[in-house]
Structure 1
Amino acid sequence: MKKFAFAALLSMISMPLLAAEHQVKMLNNGKDGSMVFEPSFLKIEKGDTVKFVKGDASHNSASVIVPANAKQWKGKMDEEIVVKPDQEGVYVYVCDPHKMMAMAGVIQVGKATNLEEAKKEAESLSKTFVMNKDRLSKALAQVK
């Protein structure tokens, strides 16, 4: 029993050591054009964090589509934030002032449990874009 308790304690202590921090830059210009998150798609594991890094001024990150019972986030303008998606599934986020320019990105946490719902909501969101109308669907196409 002591060996089991020790193994359980050791695994709980080491879990934070296994979690990774990923970075997403908020940019005026990037490899996918203007007003972008780079990368636009991330696949992470539950327990990992995502840090939104200020590359250029006047951007934020705000979740718009999340799995059921997942915690949403909304960073302030020019604020670098760290988020820890708490449920498996697909998360879609935008930069509020540049949402109409399709400044959006996707995070997949573990299994894409809500992919079909996310695609439907993203299709509706994409209709509000005035440019780069396929940017979000391209990011979602990377979800597996």
Structure 2
Amino acid sequence: MKITRRDGLKLMGATALATGPMKAFAGSHGAMHEVEMLNKAPDSNERQVFNPPVLQIAKGDTVKFVATDRGHNSEANDDMLPEGAEGWSGKINDDVEHKFEVAGVYGYHCTPHQSAGMVGLILVGDVTQEMLDAAGEVRQRGRARQRMEEYLAQASEMIAAS
């Protein structure tokens, strides 16, 4: 059977139509990650924590902050968002989901327990040491300062390993 140029173009067009929408659909949904809001860390005596406190995800992924223990929320630090990124603010005792569309370093906290050190970091996409250094320049208060330093060091190790 001889295939003409016109038949070949029709075949390529049909193939593109058949596979294109599935590829577009598959790429529009990222992974779902969960971060628990806890009174006490499961593996230490640390109190008022997010678990895990540092999370590395891909651009387009969603994080669900789960109100495992009562009295907590998750809210983005407005001064620790990548340029052009949207923040989030959950209510006390409610789960909240946020889809991360912009690469960079995101800092967040529990509103009533921020000074007690209930803070966390999310690394989205290709994060550089310069991005982490800039996030480290943001002023933290109380116990949040020490924990954020620990989490930034952990994040630095994560990006060096990837």
Q: Under TM normalisation by the shorter chain, which class is it?
A: 0.7 to 0.9
Q: Partner of 1:101 in structure 2? A: 116
More helix by share: 2
Give RMSD over aligned pairs.
1.7
Aligned-partner residue type, residue 50 of structure 1: V
Q: What is the deviation of 1:110?
A: 0.7
Q: For each residue in 1:19-45, what CA deviation from the matched residue of structure 2 results, as whole angstroms up to 9, or x when unmatched? A: 211100000101350000000010000
1:69–1:25 CA distance, 2 compared to 1 (3 A): same
Cα separation, 2, equivalents of 1:120 and 1:8 = 44
Q: What is the deviation of 1:134?
A: 2.0
Q: Partner of 1:23 in structure 2? A: 34
Q: TM-score, normalised by structure 1?
A: 0.87
Q: What is the deviation of 1:5?
A: 4.7
SS in 1 for 2:115: helix
Cα separation, 2, equivalents of 1:135 and 1:72 = 21
SS in 2 for 1:37: strand
SS in 1 for 2:36: strand
SS in 2 for 1:9: helix
The answer on 1:52 being equivalent to 2:65 is yes
**Rg larger for:** 2
Unmatched 5+ stretches in structure 2? 1-11
2:22 to 10, 18, 23: 10
Q: Partner of 2:94 in structure 1? A: 79
Q: TM-score, normalised by structure 2?
A: 0.78
Q: What is the deviation of 1:98?
A: 0.2
Q: Partner of 1:38 in structure 2? A: 51
SS in 2 for 1:15: helix
State the number of aligned residues: 138
1:12–1:57 CA distance, 2 compared to 1 (3 A): same
Taking only the aligned residue pairs, the percentage that are identical comes to 36
Q: For each residue in 1:36-82, what CA deviation from the matched residue of structure 2 results, as whole angstroms up to 9, or x when unmatched? A: 00000100001111000111111000000110010011111111011
Q: What is the deviation of 1:116?
A: 2.4
Aligned-partner residue type, residue 42 of structure 1: L
Q: Partner of 2:126 in structure 1? A: 111
Unmatched 5+ stretches in structure 1? none
1:142 to 147, 154, 161: 154
1:6–1:56 CA distance, 2 compared to 1 (3 A): same
Cα separation, 2, equivalents of 1:94 and 1:55 = 15
